[in-house]
Structure 1
Amino acid sequence: MPSFDIVSEIDEVEVRNAVEQTNKEVGTRYDFKGSDARVEQADKVLTAFADSDFQLDQVKDVLVNKLTKRGVDIRCLDEGKVEKVSGNKVKQALTVKTGIEGDLAKRIVRVVKDSKLKVQAAIQGDAVRITGAKRDTLQETIALVKKSVDDFPLQYQNFRD
């Protein structure tokens, strides 16, 4: 039976490259001269440091620009709260979300079942597997999920006949 998987993955190499480019640009910009503005990456957590809230927003704008240019969907970024470090310095954690969380997976399964298409949806870890009898039905399901879930980046992989 034909099937495919709905997943949410981010290219970690592109994220690392975007962080390096952000640090390079922040280091050369005149408005950051003499400041401690930078972005650090620890696994899937990006931490933005700056001297003030305004500079923190500027660093995040540069990071978002670089991520977008590298093809990373910025809807996967989950912003933490802004914390004071020492003196006027601030930092903010940006978590890169990968995988489909339980609530979103249940929502996708509910959308597929409510559509009355002749397919089965099953949650498998951090992915959702869709199985159906016809390829056309699976393509209709992809279109339906793309239309109904637009707040999180999804990819459709392992399309098998």
Structure 2
Amino acid sequence: MPSFDIVSKFDAQTLDNAINNAKKEILNRYDFNDSKSTIELDKKSNEITIVTENDMRLKAIVDSIISRMVKQNLDPKALDMGKEEYASGNMLRKEILVREGIDKEVAKKIVKKIKDSGIKVQASIMDDQVRVQGKKIDDLQAVISVCRGEDFGQPLQYINMRS
């Protein structure tokens, strides 16, 4: 029986390259001259930590990270923007979580959307992915187009197409 998996993953090395490019861009900008801004990526917890002086610089850093991610073909929907909080002194800290895997609520929305479409397939939630099975490959391709037409708030990839 043909099947495929719907997942939400990103390439850690590509993300690291995008963060490093954003760091270089920030260091070379005139409005960040004499700035104590830092951008750090924790690869184990998939968290980006930004520390800077004010809101304007924080927004510029976030915009730079997003633009570098787009240039590296990474979807910025994977970023879970946290709240700004005051660090020591007059510094601002923002922690951005990079989501990997499909949340249970999002998986339920995906399964509901597939069932509401009326396509004769079976969708099941398996940990942090959704497996879709059907009798025809054309039905599976129709499910992919239905899912691409909907915004679930996370980047989705369609892998392991088997016939």
TM-score range relative to shorter protein: over 0.9
TM-score by length of 1: 0.96
Contact 2:84 2:94 in 1 (8 A): yes
TM-score by length of 2: 0.95
Number of aligned positions between the proteins: 161
Contact 2:110 2:147 in 1 (8 A): yes
Contact 1:82 1:90 in 2 (8 A): yes
Instruction: Answer with 94-103 or 144-153: which moved more.
Output: 144-153
Contact 1:26 1:38 in 2 (8 A): no
- Per the alignment, residue 126 of structure 2 pairs with 124
- Per the alignment, residue 34 of structure 2 pairs with 34
CA distance in 1, matches of 2:149, 2:66: 24
Query: Which amino acid is 1:108 matched to?
Result: I
Partner deviation per Cα, 1:41-61 (whole Å, 9 max, x = no partner): 112000111111111111111
Q: Percent identity?
A: 39
Query: Which amino acid is 2:116 matched to?
Result: D
- Per the alignment, residue 83 of structure 1 pairs with 85
Partner deviation per Cα, 1:96-140 (whole Å, 9 max, x = no partner): 001000001011111111222110001111110000000111111
CA distance in 2, matches of 1:128, 1:159: 13
Give the unaligned 5+ runs of structure 2. none
- Per the alignment, residue 5 of structure 1 pairs with 5
Dislocated runs of 4+, deviation >3 Å:
none
CA distance in 2, matches of 1:59, 1:115: 41
Query: Which amino acid is 1:23 matched to?
Result: K
Query: Which amino acid is 2:119 matched to?
Result: L
Offset, 1:150: 4.7
